[in-house]
Amino acid sequence: MIITRRAVPDTAQTLIAAGVAPVLARIYAARGIASVAELDHSLAALPDFASLLNVDRAADRLAMAIARRERILIVADYDADGATACAVGLRGLRMMGADVEFLVPNRFEFGYGLTPEIVAVAAQREPRLIVTVDNGVASVDGVAAAASRGIDVLVTDHHLPGPALPEPAIIVNPNQPGCRFPSKNLAGVGVMFYVLCALRARLRDTGAFADGAGPNLAALLDLVALGTVADVVCLDQVNRILVEQGLARIRTARTQPGIAALFAVAGRDLRRATAGDLGFVAGPRLNAAGRLADMSVGIRCLLATTDAQAQPLAQELDRLNRERRDIEAAMQEQALAEVEAAHALANDHAYTLCVHRPQWHPGVVGIVASRLKDRYHRPVIVFAQSSATELRGSGRSIAGFHLRDALDLVAKRAPGTLTRFGGHAHAAGLSIPADALARFAEAFESVARERLPAAALRPTHDSDGELRRGELTLELCATLRAQVWGQGFPPPAFDGSFDVVAQRIVGDGHAKLTLERDGERHSAIAFRTPGTLPTRIRALYRPELNLWNGLQSVELVIEGYAAD
C-alpha cells in the first residue's frame, strides 16, 4: 500500500484565520479552496446565466415557442444525466406554459445522440422545435436532417465538441469555443437548468407571468443534484452549490416523488441523504433502465407527481438494477479470466486493457470497464457486439490520461479503427469495426505509452494526513458527512498507526475491529477482509458517522492497511 499525503498549501492558514476549523481548513486547502468565498454554497453564489454563450438566443426561441403554442420535443440521452435533464426540461418548460413532450432513444436500436434516424422518429410527433439534453453537440447529421424537415434545434449539452459544430442550431454548451461561463464542469442537467433560468428571466421581462415572478425553479434542484453526481462530473463550486441545494430539498422531504421512491426501494432515509446516496443508490437504479431496457421508465419515474405513480416505476428500476448487477458480475468474472489467461499484465508490461466477448451485454460494458480500471489501475475499454460488423465499447481511465483526447489521437493515427467516439477525460464511448479490434488495441496501447509515465500505473492512496489525539470526534464526522464530496473534490481520508486490540468476522467476510492509538479506542470495519489482521497496522481510513439503534458513534472505514 502506497500512501501519498496531499500537499497542504499556505491557503489553509488563510481559511483558519477566517474561522474555519484547522482540520477542515487543511482538507479544503488540499482541494484547491483558497478563500471562504469558495465555500459559499448559497444560490446567490451561482454565476449569472448571461455568461453562457447563446443562452439569450435559446431563451428567445423557447419564449417564441411558448407564445406561438408550438410543440417542443425534448430528445434525451439514456443515462442518469440525460434522464434528469429531460425531467428538469419538461417540468420547467411546462411550468412556463410550454407544449412539450420527450423522446429518448433506445441505445440498442438507435445509439447515442440526435441521429437522422431519431429525427425521423421525432418528426412523427410533428414538433416545431427539438431541444436536446445531454447530447447534440456532435450531431452534425442529425441537426441537418431536422433542418431539412423544417424543425429547429436547440442543443443543450456539456460534452466536448468535435471539429465541426452542428448547423443550423442554437448551441448552449459551456465547453463550446467562445463560451465565457466560469464553470466548464456543468453536467447536462445543469446546462438545462441554466437555460430555464434564462427563459424565466426573459418571460418576466415580457410580463408573461400573472404573479410577475414566475415558477420557483429551485424546486427542480433535487433532480439537478442527482444528475450532476450520477454523471461523475467535477464538483467545482458551481456543481457543489447545485448538489448541496438539491440535497437540502431531499433531506427536508421537498423532493420529487420519483426520487423519494428510489430512496424507499433502496431502504435509505431521505433525512440522511448524501451525495454518495445520489451516486451509488439512486443513480445506478436510474441508469439500469437505460442499460438494460428503455430509459423512458426512469424518466417517467422522475416525472411522477404522486407516490402512487412513482412507487411501481421505482420498483421496476430496482428490479432492473438487480438484473444489471447479475449480468455485470458474470461479465466481470469472464473479463478477469480473459485478462489473466492472456497474461496481459505480466511484469506490468501492458499500459492498457481492451477486452471483448461477443455475448456480453452492451449496456453494462461501462460498469465492467470501471471495475477493471479499479482493479488493474490502467485505462480500460470493454467491447460488446452491437451488430455483425460493429463493436461498441465503453472506456474508463486513470488520472493523467485524458481518454477522449487519446481516442482522438487513435482516430488520426489509425484511420478506419474508429467509427465514432465521444466523452470526457475519465470516461468515453466508442464504436469500431468488428475486424479492427486488434489494430485499435495496438494503437491505443501506443498512445498510452507516450502519455503515461510508468509510475502512473502504480496505484497510490491519497491521504489528508494524520489526526491528532482528540480530533477524531462525532462533531468532525457529522461535519464531513454533511459536505458534498465526489469527483474532483474527493472525500477525506486519513492515515495513522493503530494497535488492533480486537477483531472478528462479520457479514460476508468483513473484519470488525477495535483499534487503539494514543489511549483512544475506535470501532472500525475493513470490508471484504476475511483474514486476520496484524496486531499493529498502518491504515488509511475514512471517519464515518455510524447510527445504530438511535445512537451515533464514530466508525473508521479502513480503505487499506499494512503491517506496521
> Cα–Cα distance between 46 and 41 in angstroms, integer?
8
Q: Looking at residue 550, what is its pLDDT? A: 80
Task: Give yes or no for a contact between 249 and 263, defined as CB atoms under 8 angstroms apart.
Answer: no
My answer on whether omega of the bond before 168 falls inside 30° of 0, hence cis, is yes
Q: Looking at residue 342, what is its pLDDT? A: 65
Distances (CA, A) of 16 to 24, 25, 82: 9, 6, 40
3-state SS, one letter per residue, for 223-246: HHHHHHHHCCCCCCHHHHHHHHHH
> Cα–Cα distance between 137 and 173 in angstroms, integer?
8
Q: Does the structural domain 342-457 have CATH classification 3.10.310.30? A: yes
The owner of cell 503515461 is 452
> Cα–Cα distance between 384 and 224 in angstroms, integer?
31
C-alpha cell at 70: 408550438
Q: Looking at residue 156, what is its pLDDT? A: 98
Largest CA distance in the chain: 76
Every domain range in the chain assigned CATH 3.10.310.30: 342-457
The amino acid that residue 117 corresponds to is: E
pTM as predicted: 0.91
Dihedral angle, C-alpha 389, 395, 401, 404, nearest 10 °? 60
C-alpha cell at 376: 488493474
Task: Give yes or no for a contact between 160 and 404, defined as CB atoms under 8 angstroms apart.
Answer: yes
Residue 170: enclosing H or E segment and its boundaries?
strand 170-172
Q: In what order do the strands lie in the sheet with 71-76?
A: 99-103, 71-76, 129-133, 152-156, 170-172
Task: Give yes or no for a contact between 157 and 127, defined as CB atoms under 8 angstroms apart.
Answer: no
DSSP annotation string for 63-79? HHHHHHT-EEEEEE-SS
Cα of 546 vs its chain's centroid, Å:
26
> Cα–Cα distance between 328 and 288 in angstroms, integer?
11
Q: Looking at residue 193, what is its pLDDT? A: 98
Pairing of strands 461-463, 3-5: parallel
- The class level of CATH for 461-563 reads mainly beta
Question: What are 210-257's pLDDT values in tens digits?
Answer: 999 999 999 999 999 999 999 989 999 999 999 999 999 999 999 999
The owner of cell 463560451 is 179
Q: Looking at residue 335, what is its pLDDT? A: 86
Which residues in the chain come in under a pLDDT of 70?
342-348
Q: Looking at residue 345, what is its pLDDT? A: 56
> Cα–Cα distance between 202 and 211 in angstroms, integer?
15
Q: Is 74 left (phi over 0), alpha (psi -120 to 50) or beta?
A: beta
Q: Looking at residue 347, what is its pLDDT? A: 47
Query: 52-316 has which fold?
Result: inorganic pyrophosphatase (n-terminal core) (3.90.1640)
* CA terminus-to-terminus distance, the chain: 12
C-alpha cell at 510: 468483513
> Cα–Cα distance between 379 and 439 in angstroms, integer?
17
Task: Give yes or no for a contact between 98 and 72, defined as CB atoms under 8 angstroms apart.
Answer: yes
The contacts of residue 147 (CB under 8 Å, 6+ apart) are: 153, 168
DSSP annotation string for 83-142? HHHHHHHHHHHHHTT-EEEEE---TTTT-SSS-HHHHHHHHTT--SEEEEES--TT-HHH
Every domain range in the chain assigned CATH 2.40.50.460: 461-563
Kindly provide the residue ranges of all beta strands, DSSP E only, lying in 346-459, ordered along the sequence.
353-356, 380-387, 390-396, 420-423, 427-433
The dihedral sign for the CA sequence 386, 391, 397, 401? negative
Every domain range in the chain assigned CATH 3.90.1640.30: 52-316
